[in-house]
Amino acid sequence: MIFLIAVVSYLIGSISFAVVVSHAMGLTDPRSYGSGNPGATNVLRTGNKEAAILTLIGDAFKGWLPVWIVTHFGARFGLDAAALNTAIALSAIAVFLGHLYPIFFKFQGGKGVATAAGVLLTIHPVLGLATLLTWLIIAFFFRYSSLAALVAAVFAPVFQVFLFGPSRISLTVLAMSLLLIWRHRANISKLLVGKESRIGDKKKATQ
């Protein structure tokens, strides 16, 4: 059962809403311009706010969905408290890995910010909102999506342990944060040299 949960969660995570929405709306593939990242921030560089919002909602929703299903229905399928916590943790990391390395798109996925937000909101609304608020504050004052994501990633596992104590889920949140930071390594280099794109910058073809 737990293995099946992980596989299904990964497949759900592998749906790249940036690519799907862009194709449905007749926009350029988001992997071909700007940062090359199939995510809402890069889609916004087309100037199409509706597409960016739909991408954001879709990526967050797919992070929320499998973890919510496991949380609310796992016990009905015979999972005791310990097994349920393990299943939630595996579902969370699996859907996140699906977004980063989607099997449907040659393992070329996004950086995981919106999907992580959906996962965290499902684990606990307070955790998700605290992390989201951290992202919003940094993004508002500095207008760097990547910097906001990095700061939020650093604080997410701290919030989790401080609010709810250490657990398997804490390890999952930490793993997601480390993966998110790793996926932003190119952005870190650009931030350090002042070449990172700000939120709302128009698209440029990838090199």
pLDDT tens per residue across span 20-76: 999 999 998 998 888 788 989 889 888 889 999 999 999 999 999 999 999 999 988
pLDDT more than 70, % of the chain: 96
CA atoms within 13 A on the CB side of 19: 17
Q: What does the pLDDT read at residue 207? A: 44
Q: Give the DSSP per-residue string, 51-96.
A: HHHHHHHHHHHHHHHHHHHHHHHGGGGT--HHHHHHHHHHHHHHHH
Residue 205 confidence class, pLDDT cut points 50, 70, 90: low
b/e code 1-21 from CB counts within 10 Å (16+ = b) = ebeebbebbbbbbbbbbbbbb
CA–CA dist 119, 137 (Å, integer): 20
CA–CA dist 116, 64 (Å, integer): 9
pLDDT at 168 over 60: yes
Cβ contact 116:97 at 8 Å = no
Q: What share of the chain is helix, strand, coil (3-state, %, to 5)?
A: 75, 0, 25
pLDDT tens per residue across span 85-107: 999 999 999 999 999 999 999 99
Backbone Cα Rg of the chain: 17
Q: What does the pLDDT read at residue 91? A: 97
Structure tokens at 105: 């798109």
The length of the chain in residues reads: 207
Q: What does the pLDDT read at residue 47? A: 86
